[in-house]
Amino acid sequence: MVKSMGASLYVPANHKDLAQIANCEKLPHARSLIFCLEDAIAERELSWSLFNLSVVLANMHDAIPAERFVRVRNPEVMERVLAMAGSDKLTGFVLPKVTRHNFDTYFRLVRDTDHSLMPTLETAEVFCDSEMQQLRSVFDAPGVRQRILCLRIGGNDLLALLGLRRPRGMTIYRTPLGPVIARLVTTFRPYGFALTAPVFEYLDLPELLDQEVAEDLAYGMVGKTAIHPTQIAPIEQHYKVRPQDLAVARAILDDASPAVFRMDDAMCEVATHRAWAERLVEQSHRFGAHALDAGRRTSLEGEPS
């Protein structure tokens, strides 16, 4: 079953408070942390960032609730991180600019570890359906599939390939990436691969962030990258489940329910909606549920006429 991740916070690996953040002493509400050695780090800062990360990993606590990943720059940097004391405490790695041609170079480095992988789709190949289908076959190979936690969509890199930047007044889905994201969903989700949504880079537009996360969920995204701690709560507010939806999901999973029934003024089909219901119940365990809306009907009725 696809797991909802919510917000994953990018933290540059040269951050002065990296140790406190990694141990959840600072930002304890963060569920998923990504220590970045790629775009957030200038080439001249890479050596210091690797040293800083090595100190943090060596002293990082084991038993904390947050998942911790490293976004590597290239396979060589990944190999250096894996050689660091404490790298086994990491949940896994975010792989940049993954294609069917370079994935195995990364995978061979972690084949004999327990690390999960989050490949990032952010190259020109993303615009080619056949390339994505071939990449899906690579991810679906025996021994590989279970290591893929989710696929991340690199929105800014994809827009850059088009010579564009996201306009301030619209969500990512109103740019040329809207149809691209839709195709990625239909290419990967039916085969069990989850996707996470691109970053929202404008910190002064909370209403637009709110709208975009709602659209993320409509497209089946299981999470979104946060570029600042203030984005975590607004993102994860959307992952809290409506109590009406949770009641419907539980009814769908109830063996005593009829094959088709009406609930919350909607038709529910047990066979068709089961995967959605399982995911929603799991999401409620992780993120909770909103308060019940007054006056809404949640009772189950028999098969609609």
Q: Which residues are annotated as a binding site for Mg(2+)?
A: 157
Question: Any alpha helices (H) in 68-199, and if so which ranges?
Answer: 75-82, 103-110, 129-139, 155-161, 177-188
Annotated binding site: 157
Token pair listed for 47: 């050596």
Residue 212 CB burial class (10 angstroms; 0-12, 13-18, ≥19): buried
Integer Rg of the chain from CA: 20
Token pair listed for 190: 């039916």
Alpha-carbon gap, residue 98 to 93, rounded angstroms: 12
Half-sphere exposure of 95 toward its Cβ, with a 13 Å CA cutoff? 28
Strand partners, 32: 8, 67
Closest residue by Cα to residue 13 from 85, 66, 77 = 77
- What is the four-CA torsion angle of 274, 65, 235, 37, rounded to 10 degrees? -120
Q: Which residues of 66-96 are buried (b: 16+ CB within 10 A; e: fewer)?
A: bbbbbbbbebebbebbbebebbeebbbbbbb
Residue 246 in 3-state DSSP? helix
Residue 213 CB burial class (10 angstroms; 0-12, 13-18, ≥19): buried
Residue 202 CB burial class (10 angstroms; 0-12, 13-18, ≥19): middle
